[in-house]
Chains A and B, each alone.
Chain A
């Protein structure tokens, strides 16, 4: 293997047979390149599904009021259901075992001004627990707290991009902003992994919003976070019980699908995880398929290469090449080509992924990547099969009587 003469002879043969060398190398490089690309795309697709849920807590049940479709207990159909503060209290009291925290949410759009700068933003009126439900990350100051809710303060926690828009490089904490004509003091700045839209939000205490809206106690939606240790089964049980409890309380027929909507993030996540699991298999089979195609390609080219050289091998045998040296020569060449071409294909694939990776987000492929282990193992498998693919015809060629090989045209 480390015989300098043999390397020289190999390089010479490869150089003198450029087309053959290029063809074999191209097949291998293409196999690995396509493998890396498809595997990366598959992972990117998986990422987009995971990212969809990444920026929100997964242990939450969301309750939305709707409009009834059926009359029930003396109430007419088409009745608007309205959530109020007492719903929060009732849920808290009836499900103490299940609940980690709960928060209302009231969303309104408003023109927000600060000096000469102004823009329209969504203002979310919430309780402190909302920070965990949305996985909001405080970068400066603080989030809305319990005291703010109690005292109905005019404090706001603003998104990173809101701060950018209104304050530029200047500090915002402690400064006043005009939210729909009402002055609020900025107490915190946050960022969110959910993307730009999630960072163009302003959070205020829900009680403050209610006071501003003629001191009503209405709530748009309720987010109930359950204890993670309940698991998936516990989450489903809670969802069912909460649904039944709220329907009973608001006099909605049990079979009325429109009166109240319940979204269980845990169940959604489970479905997504199952889909991601299927995707993982798809990616796996694509990988195996591509590798197989590559191996078949290499085998074909190797059979062709050895067949094309039968006469040359006959000449070499006639002048003293042993079967071992014939096999060694072909193997050496095939492993060398497969290794170099495999590495080139690997680099090209990884390079292409990182080049075009960002532009694939619109096709639901986020951060397409292939782990070093997977890529290296795939390349090694291809090299190994390249060697086997070279070995089989080489052994056959080595066994042919020199006179038969010499007659080959």
Chain B
């Protein structure tokens, strides 16, 4: 599903150049649930942003679903993001003036799905994440966990092949985090590939594979026995 080779990324701040990714080789197969771990500044979020085409690499190759990404212009990248990828951010990134339902409907607007169908599909996904009754609420009327579920519903509504989550539990308490991981595991069970950036060990253990990053290189890449989040959720 995802193939990257010799991926490099640096940021220039004034006269200093900060090398964040220093040649990453990394494959993800369809249906995997991968945790990308590392301390702050290890480059894990940068890697996820490049994989999500929110940012570009300086060099290296990135192939998503057999398509070389580097050659895509911004318009094609937007279409890819819309069709193949779903995002979940630590800070939710919901549009504040839209209701939960309208936020979830938005990716379908860019797929030119008609309004009625958008509404029906968005409502269905909100119900899948347990937020059916909260559809008409605005983000500021929802708890952190609820906002993240809306974000997950929004990421899933366009039926992506890969779901990218950057510290999805970072702003949540433990109980809500496990509930959320339960939702993500169930999503993975349906065959959707998941990449989760986290620095929490217990969250990483709920994935099937853990990739450790340190100073811009992969120092460990191992398969683990997945801990089911449902065992923590009553």
Contacts and interface: CB of A to CB of B under 8 A. Distances in A.
A323 B78 CA distance: 8
A12 B95 CA distance: 13
Contacts of A318: 52, 54, 81, 87, 93
B26 interface: no
B95 A315 contact: yes
Nearest to B50: A403
Given A321-B110, A322-B78, A16 B98 contact: yes
B56 interface: yes
Contacts of B94: 315
B22 to A, nearest CB: 19
A322 B98 CA distance: 20
Interface string A384-403: 00000000000000110111
A320 B81 contact: yes
A168 to B, nearest CB: 71
Interface residues of B, number: 31
Contacts of A358: none
B107 A320 contact: yes
A318 B79 CA distance: 10
A320 B54 contact: no
A154 interface: no
A401 B55 contact: yes
A271 to B, nearest CB: 62
Nearest to B107: A319
A322 B55 CA distance: 15
Contacts of B95: 312, 315-316
A325 interface: yes
Contacts of B56: 401
B79 A17 contact: no
B89 interface: yes
B53, B56, B79, B109 — most chain A CB neighbours (10 Å): B109
A191 interface: no
B158 to A, nearest CB: 7
A324 interface: yes
Given A320-B79, A320-B158, A402-B54, A315 B110 contact: no
A401 B78 contact: no
B150 to A, nearest CB: 12
A399 B77 CA distance: 12
Contact of B54 (A321, A323, A325, A406): A406
Contacts of A17: 97
A9 interface: yes
Interface in B103-147: 106-107, 109-112, 114-115
Contacts of B158: 319-320
B10 to A, nearest CB: 15
A5 B55 contact: no
A317 interface: yes
Contact of B115 (A8, A322, A323, A398): A8
Contact of B75 (A9, A312, A323): A323
B109 A9 contact: yes
A401 B54 contact: yes
B176 interface: no
Contact of B82 (A12, A16, A319, A398): A319
Contacts of B110: 316, 319-322, 325
B49 interface: yes
Nearest to B98: A16
B97 A315 contact: no
Contact of B106 (A316, A322, A398): A316
B88 to A, nearest CB: 11
Contact of B93 (A8, A322, A325, A406): A406
Given A16-B98, A322-B74, A5 B109 contact: yes
A171 B94 CA distance: 84
Nearest to A3: B112
Contacts of A319: 81-82, 87, 106-107, 110, 154, 158
A323 B75 CA distance: 6
A320 B115 contact: no
A304 B55 CA distance: 25
Interface in B158-188: 158
Given A8-B115, A324-B75, A406 B89 contact: yes
Contacts of A315: 93-95
Contacts of A399: 74
A320 B78 contact: yes
A324 B98 CA distance: 22
Nearest to B82: A320
B90 to A, nearest CB: 11
A403 B49 contact: yes
A399 B109 CA distance: 21
Nearest to B94: A315
Contact of A321 (B53, B78, B98): B78
Contacts of B89: 406
B73 to A, nearest CB: 9
Given A5-B112, A321-B78, 5 more contacts: A16-B97, A315-B94, A320-B82, A320-B83, A399-B74
Q: Which 9 A-B pairs have the closest CB atoms?
A: A320-B82, A320-B110, A16-B97, A403-B54, A322-B78, A402-B54, A319-B107, A403-B55, A322-B75
27 contacts: A5-B109, A13-B97, A311-B93, A314-B93, A315-B93, A316-B95, A317-B78, A317-B81, A319-B106, A319-B107, A319-B154, A319-B158, A320-B78, A320-B79, A320-B110, A321-B78, A322-B75, A323-B74, A325-B78, A325-B110, A398-B74, A399-B74, A401-B56, A402-B53, A402-B54, A402-B55, A403-B49
